[in-house]
Structure 1
Amino acid sequence: MPPKSKKRRLNSVQIIVCFYICSVLISSLLLWMPIFHKPGVQLTYLDALFTASSAISVTGLSVIQIDLFFNHAGIILLALLFQVGGIGIMTLGTFFWLLFRQKIGLEQRIWIATDHNRPKLAGMVDLMRNILLLAVIIEVAGTLLLGSYLLLRGYVDHWYMAFFHGFFASVSAFTNAGFDLYGNSLLDFSHDYVFQTIHMLLIICGAIGFPVLIELQHYVLHRRVKPRFTFSLFTKVTTATFFTLLVAGALLFYLFERGAFLADKGFIPSVFYSLFQSVSARSAGLTTMDISMLSTPTLIMMSLLMFIGASPSSVGGGIRTTTFFILYATILSYMRGYKRVKVFGRELADDDILRSFLVFFFAISLVIAAVILLAWTEGLPMEQLLFEVCSAFGTTGMSTGITASLSPTGKIIMIVLMVIGRIGIINMLLFLKKDDQITHYRYPTERIIIGQ
C-alpha cells in the first residue's frame, strides 16, 4: 500500500493572512446590513467590501460619504474595525484571551510575533499588554482633547455629539485610518491650527511604531533609576528616518507649491499646509486641502512618501521606514567602498539587507502592475493613478477625487492593494513562499555582466 500523505498544516503567516482576509469579509457583510445604515440608504456589496477593506487596512479611501450612509451604530462599528486593523488582530486576540483567563500557548505566541513582525517569542504577552495600554491612553486623551475643543469652539452644540465626533476623530487619527465625519476630510479646519496639531500628534504616535513608543515609555519611567538608557538600533533608525522624511516632505511641499497652491497664502498657513500634508502622507490620509489642486511634482513627491509609508510594527503600511533606510545605507556604503553596512555603531545583518531589497522589488512590481491595469481599465491621468495606487498600497487614504468614480474592476484592484498593504510585503512573500528545499550539491559559480 502506498504511504498515506501527510496533511499540510498552515504556517503562522498563512494563518494571520487568513485571519485578515476573513475579517475583511465578515466586516463587509456587517457593513452591508441595513441595521447600520441611515434610512433610505442603499449600499452595494462591492461598496461595502471596499469600505470594509479600507477600514481593516486603516487606509481611508472611500467610495461613499461615511456620514451620509452610516448611522451611529455603523460609525461605531467602523471605529472598532479601525482598532482591528490598526492595533492588530492578535493584539485584540490577546486581550480577549487574558480577559477570559485563557492560556496563551506557544502557537498563539508565534501568531502574535508574526502579526507584529517580531523575531523573538519572549515577552510577547507583555508587549501586547503595553500596546493595548498605550493605545487606550492615547485614544482616550485624543477623545477628551478633541471633544472638549469641538465643544468649546462651538463646532458642535451638544456635549454628546462633541465627544462622539472627538472619539471617532481620535481613533481615526491614531490608527491612521483617515476616515472623517465631515465629507471633506479636514478642509473645514484648514485654518484651525490647534485642531490640526492635535491630529498631527495622534497620527505621529500611531505611525512611528509601537516598539518606539514602548522604549520611550521605558526611558521616561526609568531614567532616574537607569540614567544611561540606551535606545535600540531599531528605535534610532526608525526615529531618524521618520522625522527626516517628515521634514523633507514639508520642505518639498512648500518649495513645489509656493508659486501654485500656496501663492496667495501667508507664512503660517503655508507652514501648516506643508507640515500637515507631509505628516498625513506617511499613512493617515487626512487632508486640509483639495489634493486635486496640487501640481504634478507635489503629487509624485507625496506618492513616494506614501510608498515608503510608516514604521514597522505600527498602524501604517508601505515598504516601511526601515526598509528605505537600509536601501539607502547599503547603496551609500557600496559607493564608499565598504563591504559591510555600518550604522550607529552597529553592522546590519545580511538577511535584513536581502529582505529590504526583496520588499522594495516586490512593492515596485506591485505598484507598476496596478498602475498599468488601472490605466487600461480607467483611462485616467497617470499621475492621478500613481497617487491613488501608492495611497492604497501605503494604506494612506489620500485621493485626488477619482476613487468613487472607479469601475468595479478598478475598485477590486484597489481592495487587493489595501489588503496587501495592511498584511505587509514580508508576510505576503512568506505566504507565497514554498518550503525550504535542501540540496546536497552546488553548481560551479560563474560571474555575469551587471548594469552596463
Structure 2
Amino acid sequence: MEKLKKWQTSLLTPPRILAGGFASIIMLGTILLMLPISNANGESLALVDAFFTATSATCVTGLVVVDTGTHFTMFGQTVIILLIQVGGLGFMTMATLFAMAFKKKISLKERLILQEAMNQGSMEGIVRLIQKVLLYAFAIEGTAAALFTIRWAFDLPFGQALYFGIFHSISLFNNAGFDLFGQVSGPFSSLTSYVGDPLVNLVSMSLIVLGGIGFIVLSDLFEFKTRRKFSLHTKVVLSMTSFLIVLGTIVVFIFEFTNPNTLGSMNWFEKFWAAMFQSITPRTAGANTIDIGGMRQATQFFMILFMFIGASPGSTGGGIKTTTFTILVGAVIAMIRGKEDIVFFRNRLAKDRLNKAVTLVLLALGLVIGVTMILSTTEDHAFLMILFETVSAFGTVGLSMGLTTDLSIVGKILLSLTMFIGRLGPITLAYAVGPKNERELYRHPEGKITIG
C-alpha cells in the first residue's frame, strides 16, 4: 500500500495535475458545446469545432471557428463564459473558492499545485494570494460590467446590455477576446463599432491590462498604501508593460495612419484610441476595434512580436511573458556593456533566471516554428497569415487575420494543441510529460566554446 502511494505521488506531480485538469475541463466543455441546446440552429456542433471552441475558451484565447454571438444560444454562451472564467483564473483557484466556501482545509498537495499554477517560488502565503486573486477578479469584473451596462443601455435593451456587460467584462479581464457583437454588428465584428468610444475603450483596455499584469502585481498595487513600496517583480512588469503600450501605440499610429482599411478614414481622436487599443490587445486579449486583416504587413508582423511576448507571469494571459523578455533584453545590455550581472532597479538577478528565460524562449520558438511549418503544408494561405494565427494561438491572444474559419481539421486540432501548450506553458508541460528530475551527484569539468 505504501509503495502504491509513493508511485501515485511520483506520477501525479503538480504539473501533471494541472495539465490533466485543463484537459478535463476542455473535454467537458466540448461535450456541452456539442449539445443541440447550445447551438442556435438546434443541431449538434461538429466534434472538432466544439473541441476547438472549448479549448479556445478554457485557454482564454478567443480564436473562433463560428461566431459566438450568432451561432450559440444563451446556454452555449454561458458554457463559454464559465470556461473562460475557470480557465482564466485557473481551475485550482476555482476549486479553492469552493473549498473555502465549505470550510475545507487546503492540503499540502493542493498548495503545491496552487504554487505551480500561480508560478510562485514558494508555498508561503499561497492561500492568501488565492483569496486576493478571487477578490480582485470579481471586484474588477463587477465594476467593469456595471460600466459596460450603463454605456450599452443607450444602444440595446437593458436586459441585453446587462448580459453583454457581464459577458464582456469576464472575457476581457481574462484576456479571452470572445464577444457577442455578432448579434449587433455582424459576425466576427468584435468591438469595431466602438472604435472611437472613450468609455468602451478605456474600460476594455483597463480590463486587458489589469488581467495581463498578473495577480502578484495587482496585490502590490492594491496594498501600496500599506507597504509604501513595490517588489522588483512589480517594478519590472509595470515598466515593461508601460513601455510596450507606448511603443505599440506609436508604431500602429505611424504605420496605419494613411491606411484606408484601418486608420486612414478616421479623425485624430479615433486614430489615437484605435492605435492604443491595437497596441494593448496583442498582449493576449484578442478583441479588436479595427480590421486586423486590413492592416499593413509591417503592422501585422509587429503585432506577431507583441503576441509572442504576451502578458506577465501569474496573469490570465499567455506568451513568453514580459519578465522573460525583460531578462533577455537585460542580458544583451549587460553583455554589450561588459558586465557580468543582469541588474534591474539595483537588484542583481540570479543566473538561473536567465537560464529559465532562454529555455522558455527556445521552447516557444520551436513550437511556433514547427506548427507554422506544418500549417504551411496543410493550409492553402499566405505564410504571414499562418504565422500570425500560430503565434496568436500560442500566446492565447485570439486575434485573427481570417484564417481560423477556413482551417482544415488537421489545422484546427494543431492550433487547439498550440493553445493548450500556450496556456499551460512550455516548461510546465515539459515537466508534466518528462521524467521526474533527480539530483545530480557530480558535475562535469568546465569547457569553453567560441561564440560569435
Task: Provide the aligned C-alpha RMSD in A.
Answer: 1.7
User: Closer, same or farther in 2 for the Cα pair 1:206/1:5, shift >3 Å?
Assistant: closer
CA contact (8 A) 2:287 2:398 kept: yes
Counterpart CA distance in 1 for 2:68 and 2:441 is: 59
Aligned residue pairs total 440
In structure 2, what is the equivalent of residue 83 of structure 1? Answer: 85
5+ unaligned residues in a row in structure 2: which ranges? Answer: 183-188
In structure 1, what is the equivalent of residue 143 of structure 2? Answer: 141
Counterpart CA distance in 1 for 2:389 and 2:322 is: 20
In structure 1, what is the equivalent of residue 185 of structure 2? Answer: none
Partner amino acid, structure 1, of 2:213: I
Q: Which moved more, 1:308-317 or 1:251-260?
A: 251-260
SS in 2 for 1:302: helix
CA contact (8 A) 1:238 1:311 kept: yes
Counterpart CA distance in 1 for 2:343 and 2:4 is: 51
In structure 2, what is the equivalent of residue 377 of structure 1? Answer: 378
Partner amino acid, structure 2, of 1:144: A
1:187 is the counterpart of 2:192:
yes
Counterpart CA distance in 2 for 1:257 and 1:63 is: 27
Q: State the shift of 1:441 in Å.
A: 4.6
User: Closer, same or farther in 2 for the Cα pair 1:332/1:142, shift >3 Å?
Assistant: same
Q: Which moved more, 1:35-44 or 1:343-352?
A: 35-44
Residues 344-381 of structure 1 deviation map (CA, whole Å, 9 limit, x = unaligned): 01010111110000001110111111111110110211
Counterpart CA distance in 2 for 1:311 and 1:380 is: 32
Partner amino acid, structure 2, of 1:166: G
Counterpart CA distance in 2 for 1:179 and 1:99 is: 29
Superposition misfits of 4+ residues, deviation over 6 angstroms: 3-6
CA contact (8 A) 2:14 2:116 kept: yes
Q: State the shift of 1:258 in Å.
A: 1.8
In structure 2, what is the equivalent of residue 100 of structure 1? Answer: 102
In structure 1, what is the equivalent of residue 208 of structure 2? Answer: 203
Q: State the shift of 1:203 in Å.
A: 1.1
Counterpart CA distance in 1 for 2:263 and 2:151 is: 27
In structure 2, what is the equivalent of residue 233 of structure 1? Answer: 232
In structure 2, what is the equivalent of residue 215 of structure 1? Answer: 220
Q: State the shift of 1:262 in Å.
A: 2.6
Counterpart CA distance in 1 for 2:443 and 2:206 is: 54
In structure 1, what is the equivalent of residue 319 of structure 2? Answer: 318
Relative to the length of structure 2, the TM-score reads 0.94
Q: State the shift of 1:170 in Å.
A: 0.8
CA contact (8 A) 2:149 2:165 kept: yes
Counterpart CA distance in 2 for 1:438 and 1:323 is: 26
User: Closer, same or farther in 2 for the Cα pair 1:39/1:293, shift >3 Å?
Assistant: closer
Counterpart CA distance in 2 for 1:92 and 1:318 is: 23
Partner amino acid, structure 1, of 2:209: I
Counterpart CA distance in 1 for 2:218 and 2:311 is: 14
Counterpart CA distance in 1 for 2:313 and 2:382 is: 32
User: Closer, same or farther in 2 for the Cα pair 1:343/1:4, shift >3 Å?
Assistant: closer
Partner amino acid, structure 1, of 2:200: F
Counterpart CA distance in 1 for 2:170 and 2:239 is: 26
CA contact (8 A) 1:317 1:421 kept: yes
SS in 2 for 1:231: coil
Partner amino acid, structure 1, of 2:241: F
Q: Which moved more, 1:195-204 or 1:43-52?
A: 195-204
Residues 51-76 of structure 1 deviation map (CA, whole Å, 9 limit, x = unaligned): 00000010000000112222112212
Residues 128-171 of structure 1 deviation map (CA, whole Å, 9 limit, x = unaligned): 111101111111111111011111x2x102x2111011111111
Counterpart CA distance in 1 for 2:171 and 2:344 is: 35
In percent, how many aligned pairs have the same letter?
36
Counterpart CA distance in 2 for 1:266 and 1:84 is: 40
SS in 1 for 2:281: helix
Q: Which moved more, 1:183-192 or 1:367-376?
A: 183-192
1:113 is the counterpart of 2:115:
yes
| Correspondence 1:287-302 to 2 at 5 A | 287-302=288-303
In structure 2, what is the equivalent of residue 131 of structure 1? Answer: 133
Counterpart CA distance in 2 for 1:246 and 1:408 is: 36
Q: State the shift of 1:298 in Å.
A: 0.4
In structure 1, what is the equivalent of residue 413 of structure 2? Answer: 412
CA contact (8 A) 1:41 1:69 kept: no
In structure 2, what is the equivalent of residue 386 of structure 1? Answer: 387
The one of 50, 53, 60 equivalent to 1:51 is 53
Counterpart CA distance in 1 for 2:136 and 2:327 is: 28
CA contact (8 A) 2:36 2:42 kept: no
Counterpart CA distance in 1 for 2:281 and 2:443 is: 49
In structure 2, what is the equivalent of residue 31 of structure 1? Answer: 33
Partner amino acid, structure 2, of 1:160: G
Counterpart CA distance in 1 for 2:423 and 2:167 is: 21
User: Closer, same or farther in 2 for the Cα pair 1:337/1:168, shift >3 Å?
Assistant: same
Partner amino acid, structure 2, of 1:389: T
